[in-house]
Structure 1
Amino acid sequence: MALAHVSARPDTLTSWHADWSGLRVLVLGLGVTGFSVADTLAELRADVLVATDAAGEEYARLLPVIGARLWEGALRSVPEEIVAFAPELVVASPGFSPEHPVIVWAQAAGIPLWGDLELAWRVHDKVLRPDGTPADWVLVTGTNGKTTTTRLTATMLAAGGLRAAPCGNIGVPVLDAVRDPGGFDVLVVEVSSHQLWYLGLSTPAGMLSPHASVCLNLAEDHLQWHGSFAAYRDAKAVVYRNTRVACVYNKSDEATRRMVEEADVVEGARAIGFDLGVPGPSDLGVVDGILVDRAFLAERRTSALELTTVGALAEHGLGAPHIVANVLAASALARSLDVPPAAIRDALTEFRLDPHRIEVVAIADGVTWIDDSKATNPHAAASSLAAYPSAVWVVGGVLKGVDIGALVAARGPGIRAAVVIGAERAEIAEAFARHAPAVPVFEVVHDETEDVMARVVELAAGIARDGDVVLLAPAAASFDQFESYADRGRRFAEAVRRRIGRDAGDQHRDPSAGSVG
């Protein structure tokens, strides 16, 4: 197969105001991200060909309207139409793994390969702040807690008077935020390991330089995409590269500290630690139930600034230990942009967690039913189980190549029972047999989506006792039986309400759940 013509031109394009006209760009994927890429490049007058396995009707209709072309079909190999197009640049959606045939072909051909983050950074001067500078970027990644921390940070920045946009992997493409005509002071960008892998390919001309960055934690996830845990770790570490002011890391997660130590940052950038312990200078932490900042004040060796209390967080459903950690990480990012402690405190009184994140569905007959469907890997599920000591655990789905044995060994013996769902039930049942043989395990064998959660709730209701929590924290992806983790959580909540006869408006949160003490 002939290789495409390689052009040096893309590396010269480092501004919205550069001449992008006629640049032949292959865009891989036509979801939310892929369309934002195609729309941006079309606006820049590039020659855009979008290739996708399957195009949604709306996006397929819009492509010719914006001036882009579409190739639709199985991408198990490199279509001749793509070779004939001879792209000078390939911009890939995050779903395209390093082993995808088109990605392998592009790299072998020496064609520049970008993700949406690099494109967004190269054109982030489209809309400027009143002082004539582009918006600052704050990057948030980690195996778990990314969305919560991104939203927390943006909320704190807004309370401090800054125009802040949560974007990226959170659902709003970063390119849409960059092109928003209203402009922003700060973009808080949730970045996935997939996006970071592409960002790691950047040449100096396209290298992103955030104001602040954080990797919240690191545990096994997305191993099928990356190929190994080491490759996943290396992708996550890219978040700290070229950071200008604050590299925020989790003192309780050694991997994140090492990432900061090894990062090539802008001279003067500081390492800022956080955890639930007493903070040292340049850290944020907890002292006698008070969240404090000892990093962003001149007298940090002898003083601390109070941000809020664990009790106040618990009153708003934010008292679980892993959520308190997210609050500390977000506070560090906000403080790096000079948000006052009082504004952080005010923001936290208004903030609410996303649906399907330790969301209390109902409390009935002494049993609390909790939807944490967003816990799609063992690390996230472990945090939920730690917050609720007496649980009937609803677990299972698609494990994404991760061994669940360590989680079952650590948390399984302490639960009342497990209700196992999904395509990989056998692996989970085997893990309980090895590591927690005394714990009752019930398998839901229904394959029909409509029946799964009804049977889950029926089983759990028969097992749970006064004071127990029935916890949907699957530690797995949902796409074997459900449309998404949100669909899984919604169906669980509906089944609970049908069972106990409560309306969605009667939800209550347990103010003491997960307090740090």
Structure 2
Amino acid sequence: MGSEGVRDVTRLGRHGDWSGVRAVVAGFGVSGFAAADNLTHLGAAVVALDEDPEGKESKAELLGVLGADVRLGEGTTSSLPDETDLLVVSPGWKPSAPLIAQARARGVPVWGEVELAWRLRDNGPGRPAPWLAVTGTNGKTTTVQMLDAVLRAAGLRSVAAGNVGLPLVEAVMDPTPYDVFAVELSSFQLHYTDSLSAEAAAVLNIAEDHLDWYDGPTGMSDYATDKGRIYQRVRKACVYNVADPETERLVRDADVEEGARAIGFTLGMPGVGMVGVVDDILVDRAFIAERQSSAAELCTIDDLPSPAPHVVANALAAAALARAHGVPQAAVRDGLRGFRFDGHRIEVVATVGGVSYVDDSKATNPHAARSSLLGYDSVVWVAGGLAKGAHFDDLVETTRPRLRAAVLIGRDRDVIAEALARHAPDVPVIAVDPDETGTGQAAMTRAVVAAQELARPGDTVLLAPGCASMDMFRNYADRGDAFAAAVRGLTA
């Protein structure tokens, strides 16, 4: 037993005795529902809490039938129920939240959904299926989806899960076992992990993001530290970005299993123990016996869905993780050759009057927007939204030669405008005032019309907002759809 009558759940796995365990799940979104549902099936007494009941009533009713106690509405998360053995928090809950502070004070373990999934993983006889895990400020989803495509090309039963695809708890509890998991993890998810031990893990990059969550003077350091948790207890390979020294530092600081290797990926010629690019060919000098003197071809840049540098980097990271798992070279080529982006990621919407209109609404922070801008020679940049405490000076300084003009929307458009005024004062800027437009669609339509007037044949009008979308849109997909609708309106 733990302190104050708290039952010790730290040794419980999928086949443990969960009956009588009093579990509280905070947050009733996709991952919260998966956690509450599966804990209920395991026999735990579950209380699920969420301040926002919108769209959650039907799932609450279903869990209620199964025996869970679901409490939705204002004030439901203000205090931890008196008898609690475990608190499972959904991503995004700040460590300073009263519910978490109360749990810590009472000796109640606080797990995220990822920690719960890791403890429940079990694919039947033999060892549990390994995790190949990816984090970073940008490129996580693309890299994990590329990795999943490569693993499938190798004939493995794989699934993209975590911060993309299936909730991890749902994935590990699937009655048909997976061979391997391709796992996307955010810093929020990693913050609440304690025992994760991935077979191989990658940190793609570290840049400003979520500084509204990681506030205070140590915010960036805390953010990087949480990202680095993905390397703890890695068993085979820690994959890092040669161009981002912070990722290599995180590898050096990690406490890994004996025999784990550091594997760099680079857009240049790779050294021994790296993957990289030689004459437009992606090559491996890490997982072949002859790595001291030669490199093995994995695929060509033409095999990828885009030659943009950040796409090549994502492919290299995915390839390194797959090779760490033992996937053959041909499967890397076949998986990457067949890979296609999800919507709203470098998606060409139309070409109108010699101008390309590209939707990269998923570029939700400055680092992602910078990568997107660097893929084009002359850009009318459509940007803005919720900046989440980030700054745009480095982005503007780096991309200034490519900027024809900028059209700014959203609540924090002035943050971008000020960076442009400081570092690119000759770049024309149009700011769309939402008070004059009324809706997100109307604002986006005005922005696209303004961009058309500024663009010249050969230019790209690029929606790469560098900001979150929720000030004017439901999500980044809704924002991208608004952009596409506005572009179609140009030819109507």
Provide the TM-score with structure 2 as the length reference.
0.96
Residue of structure 1 equivalent to 2:50: 52
Q: Percent identity?
A: 51
In structure 1, C-alpha distance between the alignment counterparts of 2:81 and 2:352, rounded to whole Å:
62
CA contact (8 A) 2:49 2:77 kept: no
Match of 1:357 among 324, 345, 351: 345
Aligned AA for 2:61?
R
1:381 aligns with 2:369: yes
CA distance in 1, matches of 2:327, 2:353: 44
Answer yes or no: is 1:100 the counterpart of 2:94: no
Q: Secondary structure at the match of 1:50?
A: strand
Q: Are 2:410 and 1:422 equivalent residues in the alignment?
A: yes
Question: Matched residues in 1 for 2:238 and 2:171: separation?
Answer: 23
**2:186 counterpart (169, 188, 192):** 192
Q: Specify the SS of the correspondent of 1:223.
A: coil
| Cα distance, 1:416 vs structure 2 | 0.4
- Distance in 1 between the 2:237 and 2:390 partners? 32
Secondary structure, counterpart of 1:189 in structure 2: strand
| Cα 1:75–1:217 shift into 2, 3 Å | farther
Q: Distance in 2 between matches of 1:327 and 1:245?
A: 19
Is the contact made by 2:138 and 2:367 (CA closer than 8 Å) also made in structure 1? yes
User: Following TM superposition, by how much is the alpha carbon of 1:133 offset from its aligned partner in structure 2, in angstroms?
Assistant: 2.1
What SS is found at the alignment partner of 1:17? Answer: coil
Which residue of 2 is the match for residue 259 of structure 1? 250
- Output the amino acid matched with 2:72: E
Gap change, CA 1:485 and 1:6, over 3 Å in 2: farther
User: Is 2:345 aligned against 1:348?
Assistant: no
Please tell me the residue identity of whatever aligns with 1:250. N
CA distance, structure 1, for counterparts of residue 27 and residue 392 of structure 2: 31
User: What aligned pairs does 1:6-21 form with structure 2 within 5 A after superposition?
Assistant: 6-13=5-12, 15-21=13-19
**Which of residues 130, 133, 158 in structure 2 aligns to 1:136?**
130
> 2-side partners of 1:392 and 1:230: how far apart?
34
Instruction: Give the total of aligned pairs.
Output: 483
Greater displacement, 268-277 / 55-64: 55-64
CA contact (8 A) 2:405 2:428 kept: yes
- What is the rounded CA distance, in whole Å, between the counterparts of 2:457 and 2:76 in structure 1? 53
Provide the rounded CA distance (Å) in 2 between the counterparts of 1:294 and 1:49. 51
Matched, 1:217 2:205: yes
**Structure 1 residue 339 displacement after superposition:** 1.2
RMSD: 1.5
Where does the alignment leave 5 or more consecutive residues of structure 2 unmatched?
A: none
Residue 119 (1) aligns with residue 116 (2): yes
* 1:140 shift after superposition: 0.7
- Partners of 1:132 and 1:425 lie apart in 2 by 54
Tell me the amino acid that sits aligned with residue 95 of structure 1. Answer: G
2: CA distance between counterparts of 1:238 and 1:75? 32
Question: Which residue pairs with 1:393 in the alignment?
Answer: 381
What is the TM-score with the length of structure 1 in the denominator? Answer: 0.91
Give the corresponding residue for 2:232.
241
Quote the Cα distance in structure 2 between the aligned partners of 1:394 and 1:361: 14
Checking the alignment, whether the CA contact within 8 Å between 1:98 and 1:226 is kept in structure 2 is no
How far has the Cα of 1:75 moved from its partner?
Answer: 4.2
Counterpart in the other structure of 2:214: 226
CA contact (8 A) 1:16 1:124 kept: yes
Shift of 1:301: 0.5
Contact 2:190 2:230 in 1 (8 A): yes
CA contact (8 A) 2:196 2:230 kept: no
Alignment of 1:10-49 (within 5 A): 10-13=9-12, 15-49=13-47
User: In 1, are the aligned partners of 2:303 and 2:333 still within 8 Å (CA)?
Assistant: no
Measured in 2, the distance between the counterparts of 1:384 and 1:192 equals 21
Q: Which runs of 5+ in 1 are unaligned?
A: 502-517
How far residue 443 of structure 1 moved from its aligned partner, in angstroms, is 0.7
Paired residues of 2:359 and 2:462 also in contact (CA < 8 A): yes
